Amino acid sequence: MFGIGSGELFIIILVSLLFLGPKELLSVAKSLGNLMGKINATFIRFQREINLALYEDENKTVFDPKDIAKAKIDQRIARLTGDNGET
């Protein structure tokens, strides 16, 4: 967690307890927890949007080689048979 060891975390909590007191420390911890939750939710939404954009970009093909080949074959058949597209 942020590269902080358990001993360092204990010292931070102890110093915070001395400066803020037990009641203030609980309200600050609650506020920090809510803030971290909001940041995490925002990050998850951002990550989903990026993944969705990448997924749509991967699945969107501007020129599908199969469709191009089929269109060329259809054009050649139409030229050879003299078909002008009427059925």
* Per-residue CA distances from 75 to 37, 62, 66, 81, 85 (Å): 59, 20, 14, 10, 10
Counting DSSP H helices and E strands in the chain, the numbers are: 2, 0
Kindly indicate the confidence band of residue 14, based on its pLDDT and cuts at 50, 70 and 90.
confident
Residue 38 near residue 32 (C-beta atoms within 8 A)? no
Report domain extents, the chain.
7-81
pLDDT digits (tens, 9 = 90+) for 15-69: 888 888 888 888 888 998 999 999 999 999 898 888 887 777 666 655 667 777 8
Token pair, residue 43, equals 């990050």
Residue 85, pLDDT > 80, answer no
